[in-house]
Structure 1
Amino acid sequence: MTEDTQSGRRAAPASPATLDDVARRAGVSPATASRALGDHPHVAVATRARVREAAEALDYVASPEATRLAGGPTGRVAVLVPHPARWFFGELIEGLEAALRAADLDLVLFRVGGPEERAAFFDRLPARRKVDAVVVLAFAVAEDEHDRLASLGVDIVVAGGRAASYPSVGVDDHGAGRQAMDHLIHLGHRRIGMIAVENTGRLAPDPDGRTSAWRAALGDAGIAPADELLVTVPWGGEGGADGMARLLGLRTPPTAVFAHDDETALGAVRTLRRAGLRVPEDLSVIGVDDHPLAALADLTTVAQPVREQGRRAGELVAAGLRGELRERVPPAELLPTRLVLRRTTSPPGAPR
C-alpha cells in the first residue's frame, strides 16, 4: 500500500506491468519481447535495447512463465502440414526449408492431416513442442487451435494461403480463377463448367475463391451461371475424372471446363479422351497451379509460385526472430499468378 498524502488514506498499488505491456510500449509482439529479454541471438540489438528500455520504464519483473518463454533458442521451427505427399505442400516445404537453412534454422515437420491426428497434435502441443516459431502450411486454424498455438509464445506464420490472425504469404485465388475464366470467355466460350473440390479446411478469408471467380466472370460477361455446370468432387485426378463424367452426362454439356487445380484438370482430360472426345477441339480444359505434369500434358493453366510462397514465409519467420515483425499483424503478402497458354484450350468448335 502507498500513502495518499492529501487524504491520509493508503491507496492500492498499481497493477504490476505484464509482458504484454512491455511489448505494447516497445512496439513488438509479446513473443519478440520475451526473446529480447532473454537475450535471444536472433533479436536485433536495437530491438533488444528498445524492449529493455520499455521494461525498465514500466518496472517490469519477469514472471516464471515469461522466463520460461524467454529461454534459450532452440534453432528449430515447427512446420504443420496436412498432406506432405502432395506436390503443392512439397513445393512449399522446399522453399521454406531453403529460407530457414539460410537463417541457420532447422525445420521440424509435423503432419496434421486427419481429424484424430490433428486433435492429438494440438492436445499435446504445449508440453511437447519447444520451438522458436511455427509455420502453418495452407490450412485454416480453428479457434481452439489458435489458443493452443498462442500458448507457445512464439511467432506464427502461414504459407500457401491467407489468415487474418497471422503474417501470411499466398496468392489471390479469386484473381487466379478470373484469369482462367476470362481466358475461356475471351476465346468465345459461353457454356463453361467448373469442377470444384471439397473444402477440407482451406484457408480463410477466401476458401472458395476460385469458385466465386467462376460465378463472377460469367456474371460480368452477361451469362447466368447454371448450377448444373458446377460440380464438386474430392481433390485429385480421380475426382476430376468423375466430375468431368458428370458434366458430360448433362443434356447440354459445356464447351469448356475450369478445374480447381491441375491434378483435377488432368483427371478431367482423361475422361474426355476415354470418351473419344478431342481436347481442345471438342472441349477446352484449364487448371490452376502449373504442376510439373501440366507441362508434360500440354495443359493450359494459371501458374502460381508455390515454392516462392514457402521461401517468403521462411523469410518472415527469420524477420520475426530478429524482432522485425511488430505487434500488428502485417497484411497478407500476395504473390502474382500468370496465365500459361498450352494446347488444351481453343475457341469452341475449333477445327482439328
Structure 2
Amino acid sequence: MILVINSGSSSVKYQLIDLDAPERRVTGKIERIGEAGSDVPDHEAALKRVAEEVAMDSGELVAIGHRVVHGGPDLTGPVLITDEVVQKIAEAVPLAPLHNPANLAGIEIARKMRPDLPQIAVFDTAFHAAMPAAARTYAVDREIAERYGVRRYGFHGTSTAFVAREAARFAERPAAANVIVLHLGNGASATAVAAGRCVDTSMGMTPLEGLVMGTRSGDVDPGAIFHLLRAGLPADQVEEMLNHHSGLAGLCGDNDMRRVLERVKAGDAAAATAYGVYCHRLRRYIGAFCAVLGKVDVIAFTGGVGENSAQVRRDALGGLEPMGIRLDPMRNSGGAGDAPRRVSADNSRVTVLVVPTDEELEIARETSAVVARTKSQ
C-alpha cells in the first residue's frame, strides 16, 4: 500500500491506496493547521494524526508519495527523496513561496516518522518539463532569465497527466492521441498534449498566467503592472490583487462559478461580464492549442467546473463546429459520474469528454514506479 500526502499551508490531505485492488483504504483531510482556535498547532501534530489514522507503522505500507508543487529547473520527474532532493525543493521556494515550504514540512516530518520507507516526491511541474524550448521560453533577456530561473514551468501537471492518459485510452488511441486538457476549478489551466507529452500549457513561471480563474487574473499585460507600480501601489499589494482579488472574484465579487451562473441568469451585469471574459479567454486558448497541435483528437474537461458545469462546456465550445467540435446537448447535460464520459455528438470529428481527475491515484502510481525502478537498479 502507498500513502499519498498533500501537505498544504494550512491543511494536510492524505489517502492510503492499495494499487493491487485498486482501492482507497483511508481518505482524510486535516484543516486549519496553526490557525487561531485550532487544535492542530503545526504540521507535526497533523502528521501524527495521519500516522494514527493510517497505521503508518504497518508493515503493509511500502512507500509514501508526496505532492510537491514546484520542482524548479532540475527536478523534472518523480524522484526518490534524499537530502539532496530536499535541498533542490528548498531552492525552488522562491518560485512557489506559498506551496513548497508546506510541501517540505510534510516531507521532513514523514521522513522522521518512517525513515525506513522509500519516500517519493511527485511534482506538479514535472509533466510540463517536456515542453519544447519554443513553448517554455519567454522572450526576455536570456542572461537574466537564466540567472533567475525565468521561464514557463506549468502547473496542474499531475492532474493533466492522469486526464490525458484516460482521455487517450477512452478514444482508443492510448499512445498517439492529441489531447487538449482543460482543468477548470478555482485554479484553471489548459494544456496541449501530443502522444502523451506536453507541448504547451497556459500557466507559466507561476500559476498566475493563462486562463481567468476564481481569484487569479490570468494573462495581463505586464505594462499594466508597471503602470500600477508607478501610480504608487506597493508591489506586494499588486501581487496580492492579481492572485487573490482578481479573476471572477475581482470582476463580480464571486469566485464560485455556480454563484456566478446564478447571477448571470438573474440578469446581473457584472456577473455577465465576468462570465463573458472567462469564456472568451477559454475559447482563445482552445483555438490556440488546436493550432499548436495541428490535429486534435480529444478535448477533455476536468476539475470542479470542467466536470460539473454543462453551461461552461457549452459556451466554451459553442460556434466551433467549423473546427470539427460538436457537443451533444443531451450528453452534455447528463449527470456526472466517476468514469470518463463522452459529451460530443456522433458526427463530431473531435471527441469531447468529461474526465474526473484523480491526482492521488496518479501520485500513487508514479510513487510505485519509482520504487520499482529503485529496486531493480
TM score, norm. by length of structure 2: 0.33
**Who wins on radius of gyration, i.e. which is larger?**
1
Q: Which has the higher contact order (CA 8 A, sep 6+)?
A: 1
